Structure 1
Amino acid sequence: MHADILITNGFVVTMEGKGVGMIEDGALAIKGNKILAVGKTDELKSQYNADRLIEAKNKVVMPGLVDAHIHTGLSIIRGVAQDMNDWMQKGIWPFMKHVSREDAVKGSMVNIIEGIQSGTTTFGDYDSYMTDIVHNYVKIGARARLAEMVNEMPPDISNTPVGELYPLEKSVGEEKLARNLELMEKYNESENGRITCILGPQGPDMMSHELLNEIKGLGEKYNTKLHMHVAQGDREINQMEKRYGKRSIAFLEENEFLNERLIAVHLTEATDEETEIVAKSGASMTYCAGSIGIIDGLVPPMLKFVESGGTAGLGSDQAPGNNSNNMFNEMKFAAILNKVKRGNPAVFSATLAIRSATIEAAKVLGIDHEVGSLKAGKKADIILIDLEEPSLSPVFTSPVRNIIPNLVYSARGHEVETSIIDGKVVMENRQLLTVDVKQAVREAQKAAEGIAERGREDILQADSDILAMMREEML
């Protein structure tokens, strides 16, 4: 039988079954954009001839990583909101007033490149201007599950004093919802199904009850997921109690949002009881370990969610406060922070971490029938990782195997050598084949300089902790 690509002699990590589904001396055959077969090298070499043979000796062959929650447009203001209190109102908002549609698109391209270079092949991107950002995914060749971030926050929201009830503007919500629907109508299932689109209400605190209900109805009409921040911080809880007299999860439960359509992002402020309610409702959870650790100093209840029977995956969130959109980083953070939180080194194993960045994250996004594991009939989204990099050496296979622990606790992303998305080689020998990386970085740098110049007065007036720290460093 004929295959387009045959990958042989690798450590094939399928993510099938309850563990990682390791096949030593494994092989994988690709035809078009799908996986034809997965098995032992001798078996597949005897069954298939291929136009291209990829030798994977001393390499891991595994599903591409799935980042279930990322705001790629925000990377244009990377690193402006960490090491501070009130990262959103004092850190991000003064900059965002001056970020144009073009700026966000340029930042997004660099962020997608960063993800691919560290093994991400599927992006759960959730941001403004998504009808423009989508073209980055078309060009670079990545898989994306996109949502326009819908809210009713006015453009001058940064002028609202900390702690006061957010003013909501109906016209803003109407415009952003229209963009989300345009995104879905124009781009859902485009690029041979590589790009799909869902609904993106930003959070129950950032829009009216009326708009939330409209989006819920649209979710039912389109039979699609709702990607939404839920209990993402004490700011949200404060807003919900002031506006509705109840916490976020009680409000969402009362209004029938807790079901299999909901992707509940963060749950940072959820109690154990609230976490269990969401998990048992059928809603899924996304945990962004690095982001929430840096901007809030907290560990959201992913372990409790999983123990309660829920489906949870990992995301990298936003670059202003997390700084790094690298799923190896998220796997390591998630495992270590939960071990510390529980005071138990045996919890949140390397296996759980790597599953949470592949098959479980795909389940969260509702695309596990296509990606997240290596199985005949699934889409050919595959990465090859070099085990001869110092960070992953030496390799033990007996009497214990150290490959998975090293991928989670030692890999930094540069070990990813090749990325195949939808059956096409997008990165080979660490070189992206679809875009000019240096040019993308230069364009984003120029855009960032313009934001800093236009926003200087607002940024200084916000008087964030990071500004105070810079002044102290100059003394």
Structure 2
Amino acid sequence: MKVDFIIQNTFVMTMEGNGVGMIENGAIAIKGNTIEAVGTTDEIRRDYSAEEVINGENKLVMPGLIDAHIHTGIGILRGVSQDIHNWMQEGLWPFMKHVTPEDNVKGSMMNIIEGIKAGTTTFCDYDGNMNDIVENYVMVGARARVAELVNEIPNDIGDVPVGELYPFHSEIGERKLQNNIRLIENWHGAENGRITCMLGPHGPDMMSLELMQEMKGLAEMYDTKLHMHVAQGDREIDQMIKRYGKRSIAFLDDIGYLNDRLLAVHLTEATKEETQLVAKRGASMINCSGSIGIIDGIVPPILEFLEAGGVAALGSDQAPGNNCNNMFNEMKFVSILNKAKRQDPSVFPAHLSLRLATIESAKAIGLADEVGSLRAGKKADLLLVDLQEPSLSPVITDPIRNIVPNLVYSAKGSEVESVMIDGQFIMRDKQLLTVNEKEVIAIAQEAANSISEKAKGDIHPNSPLIKRMEAGEL
């Protein structure tokens, strides 16, 4: 049978089964936008011929990585709010109030390129202005599962003193909800199914009960998921107790939110019992170790969630808090931080991190029938990784194979040589084929310069960031 591509003489990590599904001297056949077959090189070459045969010697073919929670629209503010308390109010908001929708799009494209170069093929993007940001995914050729960030809070929320209740404005919520509905109706299933949509309630503390219930009903009507921050910080818990007399997870359980439609992001402040309840109810957890570690100095309870039988995924979150939108970074962080938390080097093994960035993530976000592993019939979203990079060398296969731990504990993402999405190479030999990377970065830099100039008057002179600048620490 004739196919478009055969990649042969390579290591193929399928992520099928309970482990990583490694095939040595493997091969994969691709026809159109789907995987035709996976097997040994001898098997594939016996049954298939191809328009192009790629020699994968000294390389690894693996599923594309899935970033299950990312806000690409604020990529324009990378690194402006690190190493402080109240990172949002004191660090982020003085800049955020000057970010225009056009700036969101410019920063988003830079973030997407960063992710692709480090092997991300599916982005669960969750941000405002998504009806414009989604065009970036069309242009680049990436897979995206997008949601509009819906809340009822004004743009100057950063001016509300810490501890005071957020003001809700129903007209703001209605406008953002209509944007989310328009996103679904215009984009769900677009680009040959490469773009799909969800609903994006910001968090239980950011909107009224009435709006949350309306979005729950819409998720059922559109048969999609709810991508939502849950127990993401002490600010949220404080708001919920003051407004409803209940912590977030108990409140969400009461209103019927804890089910398999919910992607519960962070669970930073969840107790063990709350974490177990979310897992028991069938909601998925998205863990962002890098972001929460930097912002809050906390290790989220993903290990407890998994032990309770929950389905979990990894995300990189946002560049102002995490700095780095790189899923290799997240795989390493989640494993090391949980080993340290438990004081047990045997917990959270490398293969678990890989599964949480591929097949388990696909299950969590509702795309397991399409992506997350390499098998016949699934979409051809895959990476070629150069095993001859110093960080992945030497390759040892006997008596112990070292590829998996090196991918998690050593790889930086720069080892990704080529990226295929939906059967098309969008990066090959480390060169992006669909957009001009240097031009994108230059455009984003110009926008960041303008935002920074406008933000000067909004940063309090006693800000710890200003003091660090004056001390020569930044």
TM over 0.5: yes
Give aligned-pair identity as a percent.
Answer: 65
**What is the alpha-carbon distance in structure 1 between the residues aligned to residue 306 and residue 250 of structure 2?**
20
SS of equivalent residue, structure 1 residue 229: strand
**What is the alpha-carbon distance in structure 2 between the residues aligned to residue 465 and residue 284 of structure 1?**
36
SS of equivalent residue, structure 2 residue 126: strand
**What is the alpha-carbon distance in structure 2 between the residues aligned to residue 79 and residue 263 of structure 1?**
26
2:464 is the counterpart of 1:468: no
1:278 corresponds to: 278
- Give me the TM-score of the superposition, normalised by structure 2: 0.99
**What is the alpha-carbon distance in structure 1 between the residues aligned to residue 459 and residue 333 of structure 2?**
30
Moved over 6 A (4+): none
1:199 corresponds to: 199
1:364 corresponds to: 364
SS of equivalent residue, structure 1 residue 368: coil
1:66 corresponds to: 66
Structural mapping, 1:325-344, within 5 Å: 325-344=325-344
SS of equivalent residue, structure 1 residue 473: coil
SS of equivalent residue, structure 1 residue 125: strand
1:133 corresponds to: 133
**What is the alpha-carbon distance in structure 1 between the residues aligned to residue 265 and residue 318 of structure 2?**
13
1:208 corresponds to: 208
User: Structure 2 unaligned runs (5+)?
Assistant: none
| Residues 458 and 73 of structure 1: CA distance in aligned 2, closer, same or farther (over 3 Å) | same
Q: 1:254-313: CA deviations, max 9, x gaps?
A: 011000000000000000000000001000000001000000000000000000000001
1:292 corresponds to: 292
Aligned AA for 2:472? E
Q: 1:96-147: CA deviations, max 9, x gaps?
A: 1110000000000000000000000000100010000000000000000000
1:391 corresponds to: 391
SS of equivalent residue, structure 2 residue 27: strand
Give yes or no for contact 1:143–1:421 (8 Å, CA) kept in 2: yes
Q: 1:213-270: CA deviations, max 9, x gaps?
A: 1101111111110000000000100010011011000000001100000000000000
2:116 corresponds to: 116
**What is the alpha-carbon distance in structure 1 between the residues aligned to residue 167 and residue 471 of structure 2?**
35
Structural mapping, 1:55-454, within 5 Å: 55-454=55-454
SS of equivalent residue, structure 2 residue 472: helix
Aligned AA for 1:421? I
SS of equivalent residue, structure 1 residue 397: coil
SS of equivalent residue, structure 1 residue 83: coil
| Residues 319 and 474 of structure 1: CA distance in aligned 2, closer, same or farther (over 3 Å) | closer
Give 1:94 deviation, angstroms: 1.6
Give yes or no for contact 1:83–1:465 (8 Å, CA) kept in 2: no
**What is the alpha-carbon distance in structure 2 between the residues aligned to residue 297 and residue 467 of structure 1?**
21
**What is the alpha-carbon distance in structure 2 between the residues aligned to residue 366 and residue 90 of structure 1?**
36
**What is the alpha-carbon distance in structure 2 between the residues aligned to residue 145 and residue 111 of structure 1?**
15
Aligned AA for 1:16? E
**What is the alpha-carbon distance in structure 1 between the residues aligned to residue 459 and residue 114 of structure 2?**
27
Give yes or no for contact 2:146–2:197 (8 Å, CA) kept in 1: yes
Give yes or no for contact 1:85–1:465 (8 Å, CA) kept in 2: no
**What is the alpha-carbon distance in structure 2 between the residues aligned to residue 122 and residue 474 of structure 1?**
37
Q: 1:307-332: CA deviations, max 9, x gaps?
A: 00000010000000100000000000
**What is the alpha-carbon distance in structure 2 between the residues aligned to residue 465 and residue 54 of structure 1?**
53
**What is the alpha-carbon distance in structure 1 between the residues aligned to residue 302 and residue 473 of structure 2?**
40
**What is the alpha-carbon distance in structure 2 between the residues aligned to residue 90 and residue 169 of structure 1?**
23
Give 1:193 deviation, angstroms: 0.1
1:11 corresponds to: 11
Give yes or no for contact 2:29–2:37 (8 Å, CA) kept in 1: yes
| Residues 474 and 74 of structure 1: CA distance in aligned 2, closer, same or farther (over 3 Å) | closer
Give yes or no for contact 2:88–2:158 (8 Å, CA) kept in 1: no
**What is the alpha-carbon distance in structure 1 between the residues aligned to residue 28 and residue 416 of structure 2?**
17
**What is the alpha-carbon distance in structure 2 between the residues aligned to residue 41 and residue 17 of structure 1?**
20
Q: 1:342-395: CA deviations, max 9, x gaps?
A: 000000000000000001111111001100000100000000000000000001
**What is the alpha-carbon distance in structure 2 between the residues aligned to residue 89 and residue 212 of structure 1?**
24
SS of equivalent residue, structure 2 residue 367: coil
Aligned AA for 1:207? M
Comparing 419-428 with 463-472, which one deviates more in the overlay?
A: 463-472
**What is the alpha-carbon distance in structure 2 between the residues aligned to residue 6 and residue 464 of structure 1?**
57
**What is the alpha-carbon distance in structure 2 between the residues aligned to residue 65 and residue 365 of structure 1?**
13
**What is the alpha-carbon distance in structure 1 between the residues aligned to residue 22 and residue 272 of structure 2?**
34
**What is the alpha-carbon distance in structure 2 between the residues aligned to residue 81 and residue 354 of structure 1?**
29
Q: 1:381-434: CA deviations, max 9, x gaps?
A: 000000000000001100000000000000000000000000000000100000
- Give me the TM-score of the superposition, normalised by structure 1: 0.99
Give 1:474 deviation, angstroms: 6.8
**What is the alpha-carbon distance in structure 2 between the residues aligned to residue 198 and residue 52 of structure 1?**
37
Comparing 447-456 with 136-145, which one deviates more in the overlay?
A: 447-456
**What is the alpha-carbon distance in structure 2 between the residues aligned to residue 347 and residue 199 of structure 1?**
34
**What is the alpha-carbon distance in structure 2 between the residues aligned to residue 162 and residue 353 of structure 1?**
36
Give 1:81 deviation, angstroms: 1.2
Aligned AA for 2:456? R
2:47 corresponds to: 47
SS of equivalent residue, structure 1 residue 104: helix
Give 1:445 deviation, angstroms: 0.3
**What is the alpha-carbon distance in structure 1 between the residues aligned to residue 76 and residue 432 of structure 2?**
21
Give 1:54 deviation, angstroms: 1.2
Give yes or no for contact 1:84–1:464 (8 Å, CA) kept in 2: no
Aligned residues: 474
User: Structure 1 unaligned runs (5+)?
Assistant: none
**What is the alpha-carbon distance in structure 2 between the residues aligned to residue 471 and residue 230 of structure 1?**
37
SS of equivalent residue, structure 1 residue 426: strand
Give yes or no for contact 1:63–1:381 (8 Å, CA) kept in 2: yes
